[in-house]
Amino acid sequence: MLGYLFPGQGTVRVGMGGWLRRRPAARERLDRFDALLARPIAPLCARGPLERLVATEHAQVAVTACNLAALAVLGEEGYEPAVVAGHSVGELSALHAAGVLTFDDTVRLVEVRARLMAGVGTSGGMRAVMGLPVEQVEDLAASASAPAEPVVVGLENAPGHVVVSGALPALDRLTALATAATKIVTLRVGNAFHSPLMADAVPGWAEAVRGVPMREPRVPVVPNVTGEPTTDLGVLREALVAQLTGRVRWTRTVAAIDAVAPGVEVGDSKVLAGLSRRAEARCLSMADPGALRRLAKTVAA
Which sequence positions are flagged as catalytic? 88, 194
* Residue 290: pLDDT band with limits 50, 70, 90: confident
Q: Residue 186: which H helix or E strand, with range? A: strand 183-186
Q: 288 near 169, Cβ under 8 Å?
A: no
* Residue 219: pLDDT band with limits 50, 70, 90: very high
pLDDT, position 160: 95
Exposed e or buried b for every residue in 100-113, given b needs 16+ CB within 10 A?
A: bbeeebbbbbbbbb
Tens of pLDDT, residues 152-188: 999 999 999 999 999 999 999 999 999 887 999 999 8
Averaged confidence pLDDT in the chain: 96
Q: Residue 183: which H helix or E strand, with range? A: strand 183-186
Give the CA distances from residue 2 to residues 252, 253, 259, 268, 296, in Å, rounded to whole numbers and listed in that order: 17, 14, 11, 18, 11
283 vs 300, more confident:
283
Segment 250-277 mean pLDDT: 97
pLDDT, position 238: 98
Ordered alpha helix ranges (H), 1-84: 24-36, 42-47, 50-53, 56-76
pLDDT, position 215: 98
Segment 20-32 mean pLDDT: 96
pLDDT, position 144: 97
Q: Flag the least confident range among 91-105, 112-126, 220-234.
A: 112-126
pLDDT, position 297: 76
pLDDT, position 295: 84
Tens of pLDDT, residues 47-65: 999 999 999 999 999 999 9
Q: Residue 250: which H helix or E strand, with range? A: helix 250-258
Q: 272 near 283, Cβ under 8 Å?
A: yes
pLDDT, position 222: 98
Nearest to 30 by CA among 10, 46, 49, 52: 46
Q: How far apart are the C-alpha atoms of 280 and 255, rounded to whole Å?
A: 9
Q: How far apart are the C-alpha atoms of 258 and 283, rounded to whole Å?
A: 8
300 pLDDT higher than 90: no
Q: Residue 158: which H helix or E strand, with range? A: strand 151-158
* Residue 296: pLDDT band with limits 50, 70, 90: confident
Q: 3 near 83, Cβ under 8 Å?
A: yes
